[in-house]
Structure 1
Amino acid sequence: MERIRSTPRPDWREKTEAQGLIYSTTVMDDGTALEYWHEDAYYLFTMPEVETLEAVTEDLHRMSLEAARFLATGAMGDLGIGPAAMELARYSLQSQDPALYGRFDLAYDGTGPAKLLEYNADTPTGLVEAAICQWYWLQDVVPANDQWNGIHESLVAAWGRRRAETGLSRLHVAHVGEEDTGEDWMNAAYLLDTAQQAGWETQGINLADIGWDRDTHRFVDLDERPIEAIFKLYPWELAMADPFGMHVQDHPHAAVWFEPPWKMFLSTKALLAALWHLYPGHENLLPAYLGQAGPLTEWVAKPLHGREGENIVIHAEGIDLVQPGHYGAEGWCYQAFHPLPDFGGNRAVLGAWVVDGESVGVGVRESDGLVTDYFARFLPNVIDAPAPAPTPTAGQAIR
């Protein structure tokens, strides 16, 4: 794995925005503009590295499912979600409610085993840049090479399987209208597009516009049409505190949910402690403990429901870092400190995507500091191998 310098395309902004990446620029309080999409460098993998990381990712997914079954027993408490949400998640897991995708965040420098940092299994974003933008970048810059990126085709195929398994034909896709960067909306729009390509009749909806029909015990949209299947880009632990969360609890099969409620067992940082409990010493895991640091002398404290690096606390030799944020009341997981690999001052995290449990691609984010936060940047990836024969749908943009 290497970080290779590259010359940005002169029209990169126009191209990436046309492909859906409308949220690359963040304007700071002092007027400084930070760019999320960066193509002045890329990460180069060898094919053996990709094959190894694919196997690791799929192993971690299987282990995480086992850890979910362990967490469902209540052995590690209510995970900060409360008894009602625990009951719903447990019932959903027992019912084998269908799921779609997730993203493992891994630390890997090309020399030692990859280490799991966390699993974003409920509401992972980053699809537009990982599935679309970096694929088109590859065609413009290094078209002779392959890329670790089969995300688009895998999502379309998985949506097709969900349609066949459920026997349903209409899918609502919901996002939160209050999110003003456009990131949630564009990730939801992309998932809507992939479902549409798989044959679903699709309808976008604001989460706040979902209604409840008391007579039929069904969720409905603004046209009073029943919601049969729905993808929501909104965390379950927050949804359970909303009024419609109570309806899901009382009528768990009023709709088919993507992702399903049992993803609450995977989206909590308690998963890290459960994995270490079940697989102590595993080469791809870091020691982790729930509620206390245990034997760890250097550790990272992570709020169970934290996102984007908020409220992360790092205690290590010469390091005492506390990130601001709004999480922590739900509880903490303590994970052994493992510094991110440093590529010339750029600290990289691999976002390894899984669809239906299969490793399908990667998105690389990097930061200047020890925590990958809101100000991280995304860089494309290349495999040091020839490009395969083209497929009609590869990297297809949102229509």
Structure 2
Amino acid sequence: MKRNILAPRPNWQNKLEKSGFLFHTPDGEPYWNESACYELTQQEAQTIEDATNSLIEICHSAAETVIDRDWFERLGINSLEADLIQQSWDLDHLSVYGRFDLSWDFKSPPKMLEFNADTPTSLFEAAVIQWQWLDDVYPRYDQFNSIHERLIKRWSQIADKHQTLYFASLMNHADDITQTEYLRDTAHQAGFKTEFTFIEDVGYDSSRMAFVDLESNAIAQCFKLYPWEWLSKEQFGKYINLRSVKFIEPAWKRILSSKAFLPILWELNPGHPNLLPSFFERPTSGKYVEKPFLSREGNQIKIWENGHQQVATTGFSEDPRSIFQAYHELPSFDGKYPVLGSWIVGEESAGLGIREDSTVITQSTSQFTPHFLSSRRK
């Protein structure tokens, strides 16, 4: 993999905004970065794809083990969440998508840092915006990216076309709204009748025992860009019955989205080439990363070496209990450290989005930098 420096397209901001990508420069700092790009070989893309498919398989198997052995307490999952997880698993509710964050030094196999299984973001820029960039900048070359086509196909496998499919996100979060509307568009292209609503506007009608929108229309199936650990704590959380309403992503993804899943995954698959050793107990020596059970955007991450803290981030964590993962050095290109966001749709690898940071911990200030494959399109 190489990092190439290049001139941004003239008037690139307008190009992005015409496509609906309005959060390219939050607070005056660029999030979308096309002053550089990553060049990968077809073989490197294949290595990422193979690693991702292997990780999907062991993650689903480990989730089944957690459910069968009632290991919910080990992951900090309460009884209400556990019941919803069991319901969604028994009803065979299927997943739309997810994103593995991988570290790859190109010397050993790619390593899983974590699995963004429930509410992964940066989808729109990975699926659409970097493809449009490719058409403008490298029109004869390919990209590791079949996300859009796979999403359209996936909806018909998991949802009912005879019922309105709702899409819900939080108010006042431009990136969440954009991603949710993008997913809604892929469902529309798949032939679904869809509606958008804000999470804050979803209500519960106790007389009908149904979730409803602002017009009191019943919601029978809903994609929600809202974590299960938050949804279950809402006032209406105790009324959720997954036999009468289907939420997407399914509740069983709550298992995989917790970083507490990482030690369990290692326990069940010791020595797996795409995993890093991970534990609930703090190591007594060596270099390792401390991660809260639940946190986002690199919040509350600490890097330790032989008992001494080397690097730490601040921010909020939903569950401050920690796991400990062996440190894996990210490669450095021009002083930037890329994390490979390997997307899945359903149960298959679907494409790549790269975020880079000037520090070894990828945070909310990281930049999305597009990529292309050195092989030409067929």
Q: How does 1:1-399 map to 2 (within 5 A)?
A: 1-27=1-27, 33-72=28-67, 73-75=69-71, 77-163=73-159, 166=160, 168-179=162-173, 182-248=174-240, 251-290=241-280, 292-294=281-283, 297-316=286-305, 320-327=310-317, 329-388=319-378
Equivalent position amino acid for 1:197 in 2: Q
Give, in angstroms, the shift of residue 253 of structure 1: 1.9
User: Structure 1: any 5+ residue segments left out of the alignment?
Assistant: 28-32, 389-399
For 1:173 and 1:15, the matched residues in 2 are separated by 26
For 1:284 and 1:229, the matched residues in 2 are separated by 35
**Equivalent residue pairs, number:** 376
Equivalent position amino acid for 2:305 in 1: A
* Alignment RMSD (CA, Å): 1.6
Equivalent position amino acid for 1:355 in 2: V
Answer whether contact 1:97 1:260 (CA < 8 A) is retained: yes
For 1:99 and 1:296, the matched residues in 2 are separated by 39
Equivalent position amino acid for 1:303 in 2: P
For 1:355 and 1:323, the matched residues in 2 are separated by 31
Give, in angstroms, the shift of residue 76 of structure 1: 6.2
Further displaced range: 324-333 or 347-356: 324-333
Equivalent position amino acid for 1:45 in 2: L
Give, in angstroms, the shift of residue 261 of structure 1: 0.7
Give, in angstroms, the shift of residue 42 of structure 1: 0.8
Instruction: State the SS of the aligned residue for 1:62.
Output: helix
Answer whether contact 2:72 2:78 (CA < 8 A) is retained: no
User: Structure 2: any 5+ residue segments left out of the alignment?
Assistant: none
The list of structure 1 runs, each at least 4 consecutive aligned residues, that deviate by more than 6 angstroms after superposition, is: none
TM-score (norm 1): 0.91
Distance 1:78 1:240, change over 3 A: farther
For 2:113 and 2:7, the matched residues in 1 are separated by 31
Answer whether contact 1:289 1:335 (CA < 8 A) is retained: yes
Distance 1:296 1:231, change over 3 A: farther
Instruction: State the SS of the aligned residue for 1:301.
Output: strand
Give, in angstroms, the shift of residue 160 of structure 1: 2.3
Give, in angstroms, the shift of residue 352 of structure 1: 0.3
Equivalent position amino acid for 2:65 in 1: F
For 2:322 and 2:285, the matched residues in 1 are separated by 14
Q: For residues 259-302 of structure 1, what are the alpha-carbon distances to aligned partners after superposition, in whole Å with 9 as ceiling and x for unaligned?
A: 01111111100121111001111111000012x22455311111
Answer whether contact 1:293 1:335 (CA < 8 A) is retained: no
Distance 1:42 1:13, change over 3 A: same
Q: For residues 60-102 of structure 1, what are the alpha-carbon distances to aligned partners after superposition, in whole Å with 9 as ceiling and x for unaligned?
A: 0111111112222233625223122122212322321121100
Distance 1:162 1:329, change over 3 A: closer
Answer whether contact 1:168 1:228 (CA < 8 A) is retained: no
Further displaced range: 256-265 or 293-302: 293-302
TM-score (norm 2): 0.96
Answer whether contact 1:53 1:114 (CA < 8 A) is retained: yes
For 1:160 and 1:126, the matched residues in 2 are separated by 23
Distance 1:316 1:295, change over 3 A: closer
For 2:221 and 2:74, the matched residues in 1 are separated by 27
Give, in angstroms, the shift of residue 20 of structure 1: 2.2
Instruction: State the SS of the aligned residue for 2:230.
Output: helix
Instruction: State the SS of the aligned residue for 1:149.
Output: coil
Q: For residues 352-383 of structure 1, what are the alpha-carbon distances to aligned partners after superposition, in whole Å with 9 as ceiling and x for unaligned?
A: 00001111100000000111001000111101
Instruction: State the SS of the aligned residue for 1:321.
Output: strand
For 1:328 and 1:135, the matched residues in 2 are separated by 34
Equivalent position amino acid for 1:68 in 2: A
For 1:266 and 1:127, the matched residues in 2 are separated by 18
Identity over the aligned pairs, expressed in percent?
Answer: 38
Answer whether contact 1:80 1:330 (CA < 8 A) is retained: no
For 1:296 and 1:80, the matched residues in 2 are separated by 26
Further displaced range: 337-346 or 317-326: 317-326
> 1:391 is matched with which residue?
none
